[in-house]
Amino acid sequence: MKVRAIIFDLDGTVVETPYDWAQIREELGTKGVSILSYLSALEEPEKSLKWNILKKYEDAATHKAKLKKDIRPFFTFLARRKIKRALVTNNSRKNVRFLLKKFNLKFDWVISRERGLWKPSGASFLEVLRKLKIKKEECCVVGDSHFDIKAAKEAGIEKIFILRRNKEKFYSSGAIVVITVNALQKKIERLLKP
């Protein structure tokens, strides 16, 4: 298979960020709706108030972020093989810039939530394919949540890798679950073999 690009999620995938999403959802009162959709639909003044709660959690987690183990050598591996890297995240532009600068990371295309194409919608992935001139068959998605899987499927991207310890959450999701970046690299290497 020809792999010409990989779309990465940011939090939990490229960087380890200590989010307690269950706690955040509870504090915001999202009741099963995705956080960004929930917040966008609110009226003022509740809207600003709750956005600020989310931003407070995001800023705290972002400042504690650590680079995922082995991600840098994996990026070097991809660069050597001329495989492009895109970053698609529901996090803010401000936090993305902070993290890319902090860890000196570069991507061929970056989409943050200000673009308005939030996961689980596949719209942002389709935009990446268009901008990088890549076919969906030539692209893989690497993430850590069901949002990443849903977005990939909606965009028609079939090769989905999930970096997680608890595999059982992703049984029958159609994604390949790997525990480490090293294991992910081995899977990609195998895909590249003719």
9-17, 123-131, 168-176, 186-194 -> range binding Mg ion (CB under 5 A): 9-17
Contact positions with Mg ion (CB under 5 A) in 130-159: 144
Q: CB-wise, 11 or 138, nearer to Mg ion?
A: 11
Q: Of the ranges 4-12, 74-82, 90-98, 168-176, which one interacts with Mg ion (CB under 5 A)?
A: 4-12
Q: Does 9 bind Mg ion (CB under 5 A)?
A: yes
Rounded least distance, CB 13 to Mg ion, Å: 5
CA 40/CA 173 separation, integer angstroms: 28
With 0-12 CB in 10 A as exposed, 13-18 as middle and 19+ as buried, what is 52?
exposed
Nearer to Mg ion, 94 or 146 (CB): 146
Q: Residue-wise over 121-133: b if at least 16 C-beta within 10 A, else e?
A: bbbbbbbbbeebe
Residue with smaller CB distance to Mg ion, 138 or 141: 141
Query: Closest approach of Cβ 134 to Mg ion, in Å?
Result: 22
Q: Prior bond to 120 cis, omega within 30?
A: yes
Using Cβ positions, the residue closest to Mg ion within the complex turns out to be 12
In angstroms, the CA 18 to CA 58 distance is: 9
Supply φ then ψ for residue 66, to 5 degrees: -125, 150
Query: Which residues make up the interface to Mg ion (CB under 5 A)?
Result: 9, 11-12, 144
